[in-house]
Structure 1
Amino acid sequence: MTSDIPVRVRPEIAALPPYRQGKQAGTDAFKLSSNENPFDPLSGVVEKLRARVDVNRYPDAAATRLREALAARFGVDADGVHVGAGSVSILAQLLLAVCGPGDEVVYAWRSFEAYPGLALVAGATPVEVPLTADARHDLPAMAAAVTGRTRAIIVCSPNNPTGPIVTRNEFDAFIAAVPGDVLVILDEAYAEFVTDPHAVDGMTVLGTDGRDNVVALRTFSKAFGLAGLRVGYAIGHHRILDAARTTAIPLSVTAQAEEAALASLEAEPELLERVEVIGERRDRLAAALRDVGWAIPEAQGNFVWLPAGAETMAAAEAFDAVGLIVRPFAGDGIRISVGEEEAVEKVLRAAASVIDTLPQEHAGRRLVRRAASSAE
């Protein structure tokens, strides 16, 4: 309905709900709803921010120093790097650059909740391809969904909110199956947390034969702990990135964000030690959740996924009642960020209480008993 809007708004925009971030937490609760890094920025990063006080001046619109640092790190030309106010803003720019009315954007579902809205804002039609039974991308089905109207495909690895990765072999086969003039966006917001050696790595895919249509997205929000400063980047063919730069809002990356990102790159060894701590905590949490009966998919981000299905909202209330703010996706499941160590045991207790309320044949339960029965 658009009758209550005082100006003429595109009907599909009027019907589109605004993006809603994870629920905020009070001082007596653990916020496990937004996949944030539980560690504070390193002291050197904070010092850089305090030293950067010239807020009366515009930032470098091209984030030149950060682009050059990233180019050197990944062995590409600086024109092959684009910096934006978070990787999601670059995703929006790319879709605006390639899509128009009647075009289509293909992506897995459920995946990052911003995808359908960004496609609609660009004027395109979202095409959602269901995940497999084990919460992974069904890349053959995604390739089959490509039509002459497809302008972009989004592949999220590891997938947010479910957790599994796309393997390099799967991605290579997928790229070979889709037209070379269709943009493939490899969303790797959680790449630093991946420990599976078979996972696709955008930085090794780019530049190989037949990969000019691939753009990899990464961010400083997650592993580097700069979510509040909003800075992400893309690596890809410079002419594709030029198109994204054309659609970008000028001066959206602040000088403070660029300084913090540069300082974080300099401190990367220490930061990655923290990533290892989070990864170990994630694996321990996922294993313990399986032990209490949950069918937890492969977890390769900084979060775990509870496939609660129709019971999702009631289950989320049980977590909220004990001071755990999680991210429910109605009808599908609950994403729980890996936060402070002190939260782990509380999550396990709450999850154990919830699993006891689910029907015995619920898809969120591990099939331990049935597997044992069939073996007898």
Structure 2
Amino acid sequence: MNAPRPRAALAAVPAYVAGRPPTPVEGLESYKLSSNENPFPPVPEVLEAVQAAAQTMNRYPDMGSTALYAALADHLGVRTEELAVATGSVALLYHLVQAFCDPGDEVVYAWRSFEAYPIATAVCGATAVQVPLTADGRHDLDAMAAQVGERTKVVLLCTPNNPTGPALRHGEVEAFLARVPSDVVVVLDEAYGEFVRGEDRLDALALLRQHGNVAVMRTFAKAYGLAGLRVGYLVGSDVVAGAVRACALPFGVSGVAQAAAAEALRHQAAMEGRVAALVAERDRVHAGLLEQGWSSPEPQGNFVWLPLGADTARFAGAAEAQGLVVRPYGEDGVRITIGEVPANDRFLRVAAEFEPKA
């Protein structure tokens, strides 16, 4: 019997694997350390804005996200024409690949990196060019530049890299851009940018002003703690931002999300204070892992990475037995979100007691 046939390209689309909720363990409070969520709730003013916006949920949201665009333009010092908003930075990624890639065009990115990259590439029928990370979990920018060819339309740089943690430095990205043709879109994915510390920090907006092919993607999910509302933004040239907006779903960003994000931008000090607390916890946890003898790349997001190889699943199981759900990645390793202090302490105890076999 004949039946509808999806596009052949969908057969190559990998499934997105979300972080699971914790399994209850008798006698223990369970914690979810698998989705890089911010453990702090939104600030009270954001909650008030959400409640007010919810009163009009019988109406469609502002399709133009007017107030949010204005707030972002003021916050970033850019024009609204250089902005695109969507339901999280994941949606922006999909829209951008759709806007710039025909079937057979190439998207270059490091691997392992954000798992939505191969999905967005495959959905559009484009070809993924995955470039292995270095031994310390960093982008190999020389190898990536060497893979940029005539069919390359998009390069994705995840910084800090999810799930391994290291961040790109400004100087190395600047040198990389000098090697990439100006008609190739280079995406600086800064979903965790607010958590980066150290010298030569990436100034993505400065590079955007110098290179018309640069696009910067950010989200309100992590530092601002609005993961459940799904809102992110892209900054790019009029051409890039306009192409992304053209592919966006009408009325995609809800009125509640627009109101929450615009209000969150008014409370930078509160956000920065919470981020600073998470950074301090991240550094404490990482130092604890190193003291225990673990090899773990330099973390610059709100998570740490253990390259466990064949022990990956067994470690995730050991954590789950203690009421912690972490995020395993095949036989590459485990990503652990920085959560509440008791959760982080328990994770360190699990790591101290674990005996690797690989």
Please tell me whether the aligned partners of residues 311 and 356 of structure 2 are also in contact (alpha carbons under 8 angstroms): no
Please tell me whether the aligned partners of residues 135 and 162 of structure 1 are also in contact (alpha carbons under 8 angstroms): yes
Q: Secondary structure of 1:66's partner?
A: helix
Amino acid at match of 2:47: V
- In the other structure, the counterpart of 1:118 is 120
TM alignment of 1:1-376, pairs within 5 A: 6-26=3-23, 28-52=29-53, 53-208=55-210, 211-354=211-354, 356-359=355-358
Determine the C-alpha separation between the residues in 1 that align with 2:280 and 2:45: 25
CA offset at residue 75 of structure 1? Answer: 1.4
Q: Secondary structure of 1:56's partner?
A: coil
Deviates more, 1:262-271 or 1:154-163: 262-271
CA offset at residue 214 of structure 1? Answer: 0.3
Determine the C-alpha separation between the residues in 1 that align with 2:159 and 2:280: 19
Q: Highest relative contact order (Cα 8 Å, sep 6+), 1 or 2?
A: 2
For residues 65-110 of structure 1, the C-alpha deviation after alignment (integer angstroms, 9 at most, x for no partner) is: 1111111122111111111110110111000000011100000000
CA offset at residue 123 of structure 1? Answer: 1.2
Identity %: 49
CA offset at residue 177 of structure 1? Answer: 0.4
Please tell me whether the aligned partners of residues 72 and 262 of structure 2 are also in contact (alpha carbons under 8 angstroms): no
Amino acid at match of 2:164: T
Give structure 2 stretches of 5+ with no counterpart.
none
TM-score by length of 1: 0.92
Please tell me whether the aligned partners of residues 62 and 83 of structure 1 are also in contact (alpha carbons under 8 angstroms): no
CA offset at residue 17 of structure 1? Answer: 3.4
Deviates more, 1:73-82 or 1:110-119: 73-82
CA offset at residue 26 of structure 1? Answer: 4.4
Please tell me whether the aligned partners of residues 196 and 300 of structure 1 are also in contact (alpha carbons under 8 angstroms): no
Determine the C-alpha separation between the residues in 1 that align with 2:246 and 2:153: 18
For residues 219-260 of structure 1, the C-alpha deviation after alignment (integer angstroms, 9 at most, x for no partner) is: 000000000000000111011111111111111000100110
Q: Secondary structure of 1:177's partner?
A: coil
Determine the C-alpha separation between the residues in 2 that align with 1:270 and 1:101: 45
Q: Secondary structure of 2:156's partner?
A: strand
Determine the C-alpha separation between the residues in 1 that align with 2:314 and 2:9: 30
Q: Secondary structure of 1:102's partner?
A: coil
Q: Secondary structure of 1:331's partner?
A: coil
CA offset at residue 12 of structure 1? Answer: 3.1
CA offset at residue 64 of structure 1? Answer: 1.3
CA offset at residue 15 of structure 1? Answer: 4.2
For residues 119-154 of structure 1, the C-alpha deviation after alignment (integer angstroms, 9 at most, x for no partner) is: 011110011000001100000100000110001000
For residues 37-85 of structure 1, the C-alpha deviation after alignment (integer angstroms, 9 at most, x for no partner) is: 0001111111111111101111111211111111112211111111111
Please tell me whether the aligned partners of residues 13 and 123 of structure 2 are also in contact (alpha carbons under 8 angstroms): no
Determine the C-alpha separation between the residues in 2 that align with 1:276 and 1:358: 36
Deviates more, 1:195-204 or 1:297-306: 195-204
Amino acid at match of 2:20: K
Determine the C-alpha separation between the residues in 1 that align with 2:62 and 2:356: 55
CA offset at residue 6 of structure 1? Answer: 4.3
Amino acid at match of 1:98: F
Determine the C-alpha separation between the residues in 1 that align with 2:127 and 2:11: 15
Amino acid at match of 2:13: L
Give structure 1 stretches of 5+ with no counterpart.
360-376
Deviates more, 1:239-248 or 1:130-139: 239-248
For residues 275-333 of structure 1, the C-alpha deviation after alignment (integer angstroms, 9 at most, x for no partner) is: 00000000000000111111110100000000001211111111111111000001100
Determine the C-alpha separation between the residues in 2 that align with 1:183 and 1:148: 13
Deviates more, 1:156-165 or 1:312-321: 312-321
Shift in CA distance, 271/56, structure 1 to aligned 2, threshold 3 Å: same
TM-score by length of 2: 0.96
Q: Secondary structure of 1:91's partner?
A: helix
- In the other structure, the counterpart of 1:372 is none
Determine the C-alpha separation between the residues in 2 that align with 1:162 and 1:6: 43
Determine the C-alpha separation between the residues in 1 that align with 2:127 and 2:95: 16
For residues 170-223 of structure 1, the C-alpha deviation after alignment (integer angstroms, 9 at most, x for no partner) is: 101100001110000110000111112312121222112xx1000000000000
Determine the C-alpha separation between the residues in 2 that align with 1:310 and 1:337: 21
Amino acid at match of 1:357: P
Please tell me whether the aligned partners of residues 13 and 118 of structure 2 are also in contact (alpha carbons under 8 angstroms): no
Determine the C-alpha separation between the residues in 2 that align with 1:345 and 1:228: 26
Please tell me whether the aligned partners of residues 14 and 118 of structure 2 are also in contact (alpha carbons under 8 angstroms): no
Task: Report the aligned-residue RMSD.
Answer: 1.3
Determine the C-alpha separation between the residues in 1 that align with 2:18 and 2:31: 16
Q: Secondary structure of 2:228's partner?
A: coil
Please tell me whether the aligned partners of residues 104 and 126 of structure 2 are also in contact (alpha carbons under 8 angstroms): yes
CA offset at residue 111 of structure 1? Answer: 0.2
Deviates more, 1:110-119 or 1:43-52: 43-52
